[in-house]
Amino acid sequence: MERYEINNILANLTTSLITIEKKINISEKQKEISKLIKMMEDYSFWKGNVNSINLAQELHKLQEKVKLFLDFKKKIEDLVFLFDLSEDNSPDFFLLIKDLKQVVKELKNFEIETLLNQTYDQNNAILILHSGAGGTESQDWCEILFRMYQRYSQRKNFKIQILYLNQGEEAGIKTVSLLIQGFYAYGYLKSEKGVHRLVRISPFDSNSKRHTSFVSCEVLPEINEDIKIDIKDEDIRIDVFRSSGAGGQHVNTTDSAVRITHFPTGIVVNCQNERSQIKNREQALRILKTKLLQLAIEKKKENENITKEEQKDISWGHQIRSYIFHPYQMVKDHRTNCEIFQIDLVMDGYLDNFINAFLKQQNN
Protein backbone atom coordinates (compact mmCIF):
# COMPACT_ATOMS: atom_id res chain seq x y z
CA MET A 1 0.00 0.00 0.00
CA GLU A 2 1.40 3.41 -1.02
CA ARG A 3 1.64 6.40 1.31
CA TYR A 4 -0.87 8.43 -0.69
CA GLU A 5 -3.40 5.56 -0.34
CA ILE A 6 -2.92 5.46 3.42
CA ASN A 7 -3.28 9.23 3.58
CA ASN A 8 -6.60 9.04 1.68
CA ILE A 9 -7.91 6.27 3.93
CA LEU A 10 -7.02 8.25 7.06
CA ALA A 11 -8.76 11.32 5.63
CA ASN A 12 -11.88 9.24 4.90
CA LEU A 13 -11.83 7.77 8.41
CA THR A 14 -11.66 11.24 9.94
CA THR A 15 -14.55 12.43 7.76
CA SER A 16 -16.63 9.36 8.67
CA LEU A 17 -15.99 9.93 12.37
CA ILE A 18 -17.12 13.57 12.12
CA THR A 19 -20.32 12.42 10.36
CA ILE A 20 -20.96 9.81 13.08
CA GLU A 21 -20.35 12.39 15.81
CA LYS A 22 -23.03 14.64 14.34
CA LYS A 23 -25.44 11.78 13.70
CA ILE A 24 -25.38 10.32 17.21
CA ASN A 25 -24.94 13.75 18.86
CA ILE A 26 -22.12 12.85 21.25
CA SER A 27 -22.29 16.09 23.26
CA GLU A 28 -26.00 15.55 24.01
CA LYS A 29 -25.37 11.95 25.00
CA GLN A 30 -22.63 13.03 27.40
CA LYS A 31 -25.05 15.53 28.99
CA GLU A 32 -27.67 12.78 29.30
CA ILE A 33 -25.12 10.48 30.96
CA SER A 34 -24.23 13.16 33.52
CA LYS A 35 -27.93 13.76 34.21
CA LEU A 36 -28.65 10.05 34.78
CA ILE A 37 -25.59 9.60 37.02
CA LYS A 38 -26.71 12.54 39.15
CA MET A 39 -30.22 11.06 39.45
CA MET A 40 -28.83 7.68 40.51
CA GLU A 41 -26.64 9.19 43.21
CA ASP A 42 -29.82 10.10 45.08
CA TYR A 43 -30.95 7.24 47.38
CA SER A 44 -34.62 7.94 46.64
CA PHE A 45 -34.04 7.06 42.97
CA TRP A 46 -33.68 3.36 43.84
CA LYS A 47 -36.49 3.30 46.40
CA GLY A 48 -39.88 2.58 44.88
CA ASN A 49 -38.86 3.66 41.37
CA VAL A 50 -40.23 1.04 38.95
CA ASN A 51 -38.15 2.50 36.09
CA SER A 52 -34.82 2.44 37.97
CA ILE A 53 -33.59 -0.77 36.30
CA ASN A 54 -34.60 0.42 32.82
CA LEU A 55 -32.83 3.76 33.38
CA ALA A 56 -29.72 1.98 34.66
CA GLN A 57 -29.69 -0.13 31.49
CA GLU A 58 -30.17 3.00 29.39
CA LEU A 59 -27.20 4.64 31.14
CA HIS A 60 -25.04 1.59 30.42
CA LYS A 61 -25.98 1.65 26.72
CA LEU A 62 -25.24 5.39 26.45
CA GLN A 63 -21.88 4.97 28.17
CA GLU A 64 -20.97 2.08 25.85
CA LYS A 65 -21.83 4.08 22.72
CA VAL A 66 -19.89 7.17 23.85
CA LYS A 67 -16.91 5.04 24.93
CA LEU A 68 -16.90 3.28 21.56
CA PHE A 69 -16.88 6.61 19.72
CA LEU A 70 -14.06 8.02 21.88
CA ASP A 71 -12.05 4.81 21.40
CA PHE A 72 -12.35 5.15 17.61
CA LYS A 73 -11.34 8.80 17.83
CA LYS A 74 -8.19 7.89 19.76
CA LYS A 75 -7.37 4.99 17.38
CA ILE A 76 -7.58 7.27 14.34
CA GLU A 77 -5.50 9.98 16.04
CA ASP A 78 -2.86 7.35 16.92
CA LEU A 79 -2.83 6.10 13.31
CA VAL A 80 -2.33 9.63 11.98
CA PHE A 81 0.51 10.16 14.47
CA LEU A 82 2.14 6.84 13.49
CA PHE A 83 1.75 7.69 9.79
CA ASP A 84 3.59 10.98 10.22
CA LEU A 85 6.48 9.28 12.03
CA SER A 86 6.83 6.05 10.05
CA GLU A 87 9.11 5.55 7.07
CA ASP A 88 8.22 3.48 4.01
CA ASN A 89 8.75 -0.28 4.44
CA SER A 90 9.74 0.09 8.08
CA PRO A 91 8.27 -2.23 10.78
CA ASP A 92 6.10 0.67 12.01
CA PHE A 93 4.83 1.22 8.47
CA PHE A 94 3.65 -2.40 8.12
CA LEU A 95 2.12 -2.28 11.61
CA LEU A 96 0.27 0.87 10.56
CA ILE A 97 -1.20 -0.87 7.49
CA LYS A 98 -2.37 -3.83 9.60
CA ASP A 99 -4.01 -1.61 12.24
CA LEU A 100 -5.53 0.62 9.57
CA LYS A 101 -7.34 -2.29 7.90
CA GLN A 102 -8.76 -3.40 11.25
CA VAL A 103 -10.01 0.10 12.14
CA VAL A 104 -11.65 0.51 8.71
CA LYS A 105 -13.54 -2.76 9.26
CA GLU A 106 -14.58 -1.88 12.82
CA LEU A 107 -15.68 1.64 11.88
CA LYS A 108 -17.96 0.29 9.13
CA ASN A 109 -19.72 -1.87 11.72
CA PHE A 110 -19.99 1.10 14.08
CA GLU A 111 -21.49 3.23 11.28
CA ILE A 112 -24.21 0.62 10.77
CA GLU A 113 -24.96 0.61 14.51
CA THR A 114 -25.49 4.38 14.40
CA LEU A 115 -28.32 3.75 11.92
CA LEU A 116 -30.12 1.73 14.61
CA ASN A 117 -31.67 4.75 16.29
CA GLN A 118 -35.38 3.94 16.46
CA THR A 119 -37.28 3.39 19.71
CA TYR A 120 -37.03 -0.40 19.99
CA ASP A 121 -33.93 -1.08 17.87
CA GLN A 122 -31.86 -2.14 20.91
CA ASN A 123 -34.46 -4.73 21.99
CA ASN A 124 -34.59 -8.47 21.50
CA ALA A 125 -36.60 -9.62 18.46
CA ILE A 126 -39.54 -11.97 18.00
CA LEU A 127 -39.33 -13.50 14.51
CA ILE A 128 -42.27 -15.50 13.14
CA LEU A 129 -42.24 -17.50 9.89
CA HIS A 130 -45.46 -18.67 8.17
CA SER A 131 -45.38 -20.98 5.14
CA GLY A 132 -47.59 -19.89 2.26
CA ALA A 133 -49.69 -21.84 -0.22
CA GLY A 134 -47.93 -24.81 -1.80
CA GLY A 135 -47.99 -27.47 0.90
CA THR A 136 -44.79 -29.42 1.45
CA GLU A 137 -42.71 -27.25 -0.90
CA SER A 138 -43.45 -23.99 0.96
CA GLN A 139 -43.12 -25.75 4.33
CA ASP A 140 -39.67 -26.96 3.31
CA TRP A 141 -38.82 -23.37 2.30
CA CYS A 142 -39.99 -22.24 5.75
CA GLU A 143 -37.57 -24.69 7.40
CA ILE A 144 -34.71 -23.49 5.16
CA LEU A 145 -35.35 -19.87 6.22
CA PHE A 146 -35.59 -21.01 9.85
CA ARG A 147 -32.08 -22.46 9.54
CA MET A 148 -30.85 -19.30 7.76
CA TYR A 149 -31.95 -17.09 10.66
CA GLN A 150 -30.48 -19.55 13.16
CA ARG A 151 -27.11 -19.32 11.40
CA TYR A 152 -27.32 -15.51 11.20
CA SER A 153 -28.12 -15.29 14.92
CA GLN A 154 -25.23 -17.58 15.80
CA ARG A 155 -22.85 -15.41 13.79
CA LYS A 156 -24.07 -12.31 15.65
CA ASN A 157 -23.77 -14.13 19.01
CA PHE A 158 -27.52 -13.82 19.55
CA LYS A 159 -29.33 -16.37 21.71
CA ILE A 160 -32.28 -18.22 20.09
CA GLN A 161 -35.34 -19.61 21.85
CA ILE A 162 -38.15 -21.45 20.04
CA LEU A 163 -41.49 -20.13 21.31
CA TYR A 164 -43.68 -22.20 18.99
CA LEU A 165 -43.09 -24.72 16.22
CA ASN A 166 -45.71 -26.44 14.04
CA GLN A 167 -44.13 -29.03 11.76
CA GLY A 168 -45.47 -30.07 8.36
CA GLU A 169 -47.09 -33.48 7.84
CA GLU A 170 -44.48 -34.72 5.33
CA ALA A 171 -41.55 -32.33 5.74
CA GLY A 172 -40.68 -28.80 6.70
CA ILE A 173 -42.38 -26.33 9.03
CA LYS A 174 -45.80 -24.68 8.82
CA THR A 175 -45.11 -21.99 11.43
CA VAL A 176 -42.27 -21.19 13.80
CA SER A 177 -41.90 -18.36 16.34
CA LEU A 178 -38.45 -17.43 17.66
CA LEU A 179 -37.24 -15.18 20.44
CA ILE A 180 -33.85 -13.83 19.35
CA GLN A 181 -31.99 -12.24 22.24
CA GLY A 182 -29.10 -9.84 21.76
CA PHE A 183 -28.14 -6.17 21.65
CA TYR A 184 -29.83 -4.56 18.59
CA ALA A 185 -31.43 -7.89 17.55
CA TYR A 186 -34.66 -6.14 16.53
CA GLY A 187 -32.80 -3.26 14.88
CA TYR A 188 -31.00 -5.64 12.54
CA LEU A 189 -33.78 -8.16 11.92
CA LYS A 190 -36.62 -5.68 11.31
CA SER A 191 -35.35 -5.52 7.71
CA GLU A 192 -36.50 -9.15 7.24
CA LYS A 193 -40.20 -8.36 7.66
CA GLY A 194 -42.15 -9.31 4.54
CA VAL A 195 -42.62 -12.12 2.04
CA HIS A 196 -39.63 -14.23 0.94
CA ARG A 197 -39.92 -15.95 -2.47
CA LEU A 198 -38.12 -19.14 -3.54
CA VAL A 199 -37.70 -20.38 -7.14
CA ARG A 200 -36.15 -23.84 -7.57
CA ILE A 201 -36.53 -27.34 -9.00
CA SER A 202 -38.61 -28.98 -6.30
CA PRO A 203 -37.11 -32.13 -4.69
CA PHE A 204 -40.71 -33.16 -3.95
CA ASP A 205 -41.76 -33.16 -7.63
CA SER A 206 -41.05 -36.43 -9.47
CA ASN A 207 -41.25 -34.53 -12.78
CA SER A 208 -38.47 -32.14 -11.65
CA LYS A 209 -40.53 -29.06 -12.45
CA ARG A 210 -39.65 -25.56 -11.32
CA HIS A 211 -41.72 -24.35 -8.36
CA THR A 212 -42.24 -20.96 -6.72
CA SER A 213 -42.87 -20.89 -2.97
CA PHE A 214 -43.54 -18.13 -0.45
CA VAL A 215 -42.97 -17.64 3.28
CA SER A 216 -43.96 -14.57 5.28
CA CYS A 217 -41.71 -13.22 8.02
CA GLU A 218 -42.99 -11.13 10.92
CA VAL A 219 -40.50 -9.30 13.13
CA LEU A 220 -41.53 -7.68 16.43
CA PRO A 221 -39.51 -6.08 19.23
CA GLU A 222 -39.67 -7.87 22.57
CA ILE A 223 -41.10 -5.23 24.91
CA ASN A 224 -40.63 -6.15 28.56
CA GLU A 225 -42.19 -3.06 30.07
CA ASP A 226 -45.96 -2.90 30.50
CA ILE A 227 -47.70 -2.09 27.22
CA LYS A 228 -50.65 0.22 27.78
CA ILE A 229 -53.14 -1.61 25.57
CA ASP A 230 -56.50 -2.77 26.91
CA ILE A 231 -57.73 -6.10 25.60
CA LYS A 232 -61.34 -6.96 26.37
CA ASP A 233 -62.10 -10.52 27.43
CA GLU A 234 -64.83 -10.82 24.80
CA ASP A 235 -62.33 -9.86 22.05
CA ILE A 236 -60.10 -12.89 22.55
CA ARG A 237 -60.33 -16.68 22.67
CA ILE A 238 -57.72 -18.70 24.52
CA ASP A 239 -57.17 -22.33 23.50
CA VAL A 240 -54.83 -24.80 25.18
CA PHE A 241 -53.32 -27.83 23.47
CA ARG A 242 -50.38 -30.20 23.64
CA SER A 243 -47.00 -28.95 22.49
CA SER A 244 -45.38 -30.27 19.33
CA GLY A 245 -41.88 -30.16 17.85
CA ALA A 246 -38.80 -29.10 19.80
CA GLY A 247 -39.20 -28.70 23.52
CA GLY A 248 -37.73 -31.62 25.44
CA GLN A 249 -39.32 -34.39 27.49
CA HIS A 250 -42.43 -32.41 28.47
CA VAL A 251 -43.56 -31.99 24.84
CA ASN A 252 -46.85 -33.81 24.07
CA THR A 253 -47.41 -34.81 27.72
CA THR A 254 -49.52 -31.89 29.01
CA ASP A 255 -51.85 -29.25 27.58
CA SER A 256 -49.29 -26.51 28.21
CA ALA A 257 -49.28 -24.81 24.78
CA VAL A 258 -51.48 -21.73 24.39
CA ARG A 259 -53.14 -20.11 21.39
CA ILE A 260 -54.75 -16.65 21.66
CA THR A 261 -57.05 -15.41 18.89
CA HIS A 262 -57.86 -11.68 18.75
CA PHE A 263 -61.20 -11.33 16.94
CA PRO A 264 -61.11 -7.60 15.95
CA THR A 265 -57.81 -7.95 14.06
CA GLY A 266 -57.69 -11.67 13.27
CA ILE A 267 -54.27 -11.93 14.95
CA VAL A 268 -53.40 -15.41 16.25
CA VAL A 269 -50.51 -15.98 18.67
CA ASN A 270 -49.14 -19.38 19.70
CA CYS A 271 -46.69 -20.17 22.49
CA GLN A 272 -45.38 -23.51 23.76
CA ASN A 273 -41.91 -22.62 25.02
CA GLU A 274 -42.54 -22.99 28.75
CA ARG A 275 -43.64 -26.08 30.66
CA SER A 276 -46.21 -23.97 32.48
CA GLN A 277 -49.47 -23.11 30.73
CA ILE A 278 -49.64 -19.90 32.78
CA LYS A 279 -46.21 -18.74 31.58
CA ASN A 280 -47.06 -19.59 27.97
CA ARG A 281 -50.28 -17.60 28.31
CA GLU A 282 -48.35 -14.60 29.69
CA GLN A 283 -45.83 -14.80 26.83
CA ALA A 284 -48.57 -15.14 24.19
CA LEU A 285 -50.47 -12.19 25.65
CA ARG A 286 -47.29 -10.09 25.65
CA ILE A 287 -46.68 -10.92 21.97
CA LEU A 288 -50.31 -10.09 21.15
CA LYS A 289 -49.97 -6.69 22.84
CA THR A 290 -46.74 -6.06 20.93
CA LYS A 291 -48.49 -6.89 17.65
CA LEU A 292 -51.38 -4.57 18.49
CA LEU A 293 -48.93 -1.80 19.44
CA GLN A 294 -47.06 -2.24 16.15
CA LEU A 295 -50.36 -2.21 14.26
CA ALA A 296 -51.32 1.07 15.95
CA ILE A 297 -47.93 2.62 15.11
CA GLU A 298 -48.16 1.52 11.48
CA LYS A 299 -51.62 3.02 11.10
CA LYS A 300 -50.16 6.41 12.03
CA LYS A 301 -47.56 6.28 9.28
CA GLU A 302 -48.58 8.20 6.16
CA ASN A 303 -46.61 6.10 3.68
CA GLU A 304 -46.80 2.59 5.06
CA ASN A 305 -45.50 0.14 2.45
CA ILE A 306 -46.93 -3.07 3.89
CA THR A 307 -50.65 -2.84 4.65
CA LYS A 308 -52.64 -5.34 6.65
CA GLU A 309 -54.02 -6.90 3.45
CA GLU A 310 -50.53 -7.33 2.00
CA GLN A 311 -49.29 -8.99 5.17
CA LYS A 312 -52.03 -11.58 4.84
CA ASP A 313 -51.30 -12.24 1.16
CA ILE A 314 -48.27 -14.55 1.02
CA SER A 315 -48.02 -14.70 -2.75
CA TRP A 316 -46.62 -13.25 -5.98
CA GLY A 317 -46.08 -9.50 -6.11
CA HIS A 318 -45.64 -8.92 -2.38
CA GLN A 319 -42.15 -10.37 -1.88
CA ILE A 320 -39.36 -8.26 -0.40
CA ARG A 321 -36.67 -10.69 -1.52
CA SER A 322 -36.32 -13.44 -4.12
CA TYR A 323 -34.06 -16.47 -3.78
CA ILE A 324 -33.46 -17.95 -7.25
CA PHE A 325 -31.92 -21.44 -7.34
CA HIS A 326 -32.93 -22.20 -10.96
CA PRO A 327 -32.30 -21.45 -13.86
CA TYR A 328 -29.50 -19.31 -12.33
CA GLN A 329 -28.44 -18.57 -8.75
CA MET A 330 -29.07 -15.17 -7.20
CA VAL A 331 -30.68 -13.54 -4.18
CA LYS A 332 -32.19 -10.11 -4.83
CA ASP A 333 -33.76 -7.66 -2.39
CA HIS A 334 -36.51 -5.82 -4.27
CA ARG A 335 -36.51 -2.81 -1.89
CA THR A 336 -32.83 -1.91 -2.19
CA ASN A 337 -31.91 -3.79 -5.41
CA CYS A 338 -29.06 -5.41 -3.48
CA GLU A 339 -28.02 -8.61 -5.29
CA ILE A 340 -25.80 -11.49 -4.17
CA PHE A 341 -24.84 -14.41 -6.40
CA GLN A 342 -23.21 -16.58 -3.70
CA ILE A 343 -26.55 -18.10 -2.71
CA ASP A 344 -25.00 -20.72 -0.39
CA LEU A 345 -23.48 -17.95 1.73
CA VAL A 346 -26.85 -16.23 2.07
CA MET A 347 -28.59 -19.45 3.09
CA ASP A 348 -25.82 -19.96 5.66
CA GLY A 349 -26.81 -16.71 7.37
CA TYR A 350 -24.61 -14.11 5.69
CA LEU A 351 -27.31 -11.41 5.50
CA ASP A 352 -25.23 -8.35 6.39
CA ASN A 353 -25.22 -6.86 2.87
CA PHE A 354 -29.03 -6.97 2.65
CA ILE A 355 -29.56 -5.67 6.18
CA ASN A 356 -27.00 -2.87 5.85
CA ALA A 357 -28.44 -1.74 2.50
CA PHE A 358 -31.93 -1.64 4.02
CA LEU A 359 -30.80 0.38 7.06
CA LYS A 360 -28.95 2.89 4.88
CA GLN A 361 -31.99 3.28 2.62
CA GLN A 362 -34.31 3.81 5.59
CA ASN A 363 -32.06 6.48 7.10
CA ASN A 364 -31.65 8.29 3.78
Query: What is the 8-class DSSP label of residue 122?
Result: T
- Give the bridge partners for 240, in sequence order: 258
Distances (CA, A) of 41 to 34, 59, 113, 336: 11, 13, 30, 47
> What 8-state DSSP symbol labels residue 302?
T
Distance CA 50, CA 264 (A): 32
Neighbouring residues of 251: CB distance < 8 A, sequence distance ≥ 6: 242, 243, 244, 245, 272
User: Distance of CA 118 to CAs 182, 262, 359, 361, Å?
Assistant: 16, 27, 11, 14
Q: Please tell me the predicted confidence (pLDDT) of residue 304.
A: 46
Q: pLDDT at position 317, please?
A: 58
First CA to last CA distance, the chain: 33
Structure confidence at residue 250 (pLDDT): 43
Write down all domains in the chain, each with its CATH number in brackets: 3-114 (1.20.58.410), 125-363 (3.30.70.1660)
The confidence band for 313, taking pLDDT boundaries of 50, 70 and 90, is low
Comparing 20 with 299, the larger pLDDT belongs to 20
**Does residue 20 carry a pLDDT above 80?**
yes
pLDDT in tens, 169-204: 888 999 999 999 998 999 999 999 999 999 999 887
What integer pLDDT is reported at residue 204 of this predicted model? Answer: 78
pLDDT for the residue numbered 247 = 47
Is the entire prediction scored with pTM above 0.75? yes
Cβ atoms < 10 Å from Cβ of 113: 19
Higher pLDDT, 299 or 353: 353
pLDDT, tens digit, for every residue of 339-357?
Answer: 999 999 999 999 999 999 9
| Cα–Cα separations (whole angstroms), residue 51 to 68, 83, 119, 290, 348 | 26, 48, 16, 19, 40
